[in-house]
Structure 1
Amino acid sequence: MTKHTVVVAESQTLFRDMITNFVEDMDEFQVIGTLKNGQEVLDFIDEKEIRPFLVLLDIHMPVLDGLQCAKKLKELYPNIKVVLLSAYDDEESIETVLAVSADGYILKSSGLDEFKDTLRFIIDGKFVAPQKLVQYFSQRLESLLKIERESSLHYIKERFSHNKDLNNRELEIIQLMKKGWTNRMIADQLGISEGTVKNYLSIIYKKLNIKNRVELLQMLSDMTG
């Protein structure tokens, strides 16, 4: 069996040796480098002119931390798999990991079987992350989809279906206002003048029996609340 080459970077000797032993215990992998920081990883790859299949990086390391190293690795060698190791699973840490395009994220609190399974998933080209991360971004995605849905023209038409006085152009302007667009942005989008947008808004306010943009936005907020 051809083994996948691995570089391990961890500043603490005990953890570095433990991780190395865990990886070496797997038939699929062979550790070719054990290093103390991200800069050593970059130097090792450059000097040895070798491209490991996988680099395991502790996030918190001196000289060059795991996040900075991961970002540089992905810029220089996009085909190298990069997995970050961390003791933290807070939202800020999770978002930072995704921002550097890592292929996986393993918590140091993970069990040995979970650790090994994660590495095997990486071989199959899957992004692997803790359950908390998956749940967090699932909630974020659901929230973004809700916002997108409630800003669609179809949604606006449904909410104002009781008001037959509003025509399609007026509903379109209401939709763009709900997205937070300015009069100038709306004008550019619709290919009309800013003055024409203001005229449409005056008509919309009159038809809805309100006075201004603030009241319209409040009305839209009440509809989705």
Structure 2
Amino acid sequence: MMKIAIIDKDQLINRGLRIILDENDDFEILEIEPNSNTIHNKVDEFIPDIMLIHVNDYTNNFAEIINDLRKIYASIKIILMFPNGYRNAGSFDIYEGVNGFLLNNISAEGFVYSIRNVYDNQFVLSKEIAEKMISKAQYGSTDEKEKMKQKLRLKGISISSRDSDVLYLIYSNYKNKEIAGELQLPEKTVRDYVSRVYKKININNRKQVIGFIRQIMEE
């Protein structure tokens, strides 16, 4: 029996997904609200093989939820589902450890097929998302954020993809609240990332940080 947990606050979408999944006798389904405490309690009881997380503009803390789940439940596979046209669907560097990326417009047959593939340790990707990834890779060498990471690396400073997201937005004069909105993270989490980035580059002043990044980008 394959155990699948659906994490989403949209009950209408949940019902649609469940109708598709319930047609498979070897699937056992559990719906979970996207709340950290609820997720942990339910996952501990259910122990799913796959967690299906629906991501949209209203799922403000989904990246934090994913990172938390990956640390605690390393053996559970994660599939993300995005609305068709979701603006951040191509930003995969913030979704480390995810096993599949699908769009809502996938066919019922393709949806079930993808779940079975992930269960069998394969990686799945919707065609439209793959195209975004390819487009991003083609321009990776000129990407300013990647250039910043390379410049920092030459100075012996190694930062993660998430740190890079935050630092580049600081360099772009985003305030913490704006960074939270751009990265779909709680503002408190952004403050933690900002403090960590400051510590890594050994500067504790926003204006000086911006000046430092500008200087290395011009070198």
> Do the structures match in fold with TM over 0.5?
yes
Structure 1 residues 121-132: aligned runs within 5 Å: 121-132=117-128
1:67 corresponds to which of 43, 63, 79 = 63
2:105 corresponds to which of 105, 109, 125 = 109
Of all paired residues, the percent bearing the same amino acid is 12
Residues 120 and 97 of structure 1: CA distance in aligned 2, closer, same or farther (over 3 Å): farther
After TM superposition, which residue ranges in structure 1, 4 or more long, deviate above 6 angstroms?
A: 61-64
CA RMSD of aligned residues (A): 3.0
Name the counterpart of 2:3.
5
- For normalisation by structure 2, the TM-score amounts to 0.56
Report how far residue 133 of structure 1 moved. 2.0
Name the counterpart of 2:15.
17
The DSSP-based 3-state class of the residue aligned with 1:17 is helix
The separation in 2 between residues aligned to 1:26 and 1:108, in whole angstroms, is: 19
The separation in 2 between residues aligned to 1:11 and 1:103, in whole angstroms, is: 21
Report how far residue 61 of structure 1 moved. 8.2
Instruction: Work out whether residues 38 and 63 of structure 1, in 8 Å CA contact, stay in contact via their aligned partners in 2.
Output: no
* 1:166-188 CA distance string (max 9 Å, x none): xxxxxxxxxxxxxx98xx98xxx
Instruction: Work out whether residues 5 and 52 of structure 2, in 8 Å CA contact, stay in contact via their aligned partners in 1.
Output: yes
The separation in 2 between residues aligned to 1:64 and 1:43, in whole angstroms, is: 21
Report how far residue 99 of structure 1 moved. 2.6
1:37 aligns with 2:34: yes
The separation in 1 between residues aligned to 2:39 and 2:103, in whole angstroms, is: 21
The separation in 2 between residues aligned to 1:100 and 1:89, in whole angstroms, is: 21
The separation in 2 between residues aligned to 1:135 and 1:95, in whole angstroms, is: 12
Q: Letter of the aligned partner of 1:30 in structure 2?
A: E
Report how far residue 15 of structure 1 moved. 1.4
The separation in 2 between residues aligned to 1:97 and 1:26, in whole angstroms, is: 33
- For normalisation by structure 1, the TM-score amounts to 0.54
Q: Letter of the aligned partner of 2:34 in structure 1?
A: N
Residues 130 and 89 of structure 1: CA distance in aligned 2, closer, same or farther (over 3 Å): farther
- The answer to which structure, 1 or 2, has the higher relative contact order (CA under 8 A, 6+ apart) is 2
The DSSP-based 3-state class of the residue aligned with 2:117 is helix
Name the counterpart of 2:26.
28
Size of the alignment, in residue pairs?
145
The separation in 1 between residues aligned to 2:8 and 2:113, in whole angstroms, is: 20
Q: Unaligned stretches of 5+ in structure 1?
A: 148-179, 186-225
Residues 26 and 66 of structure 1: CA distance in aligned 2, closer, same or farther (over 3 Å): farther
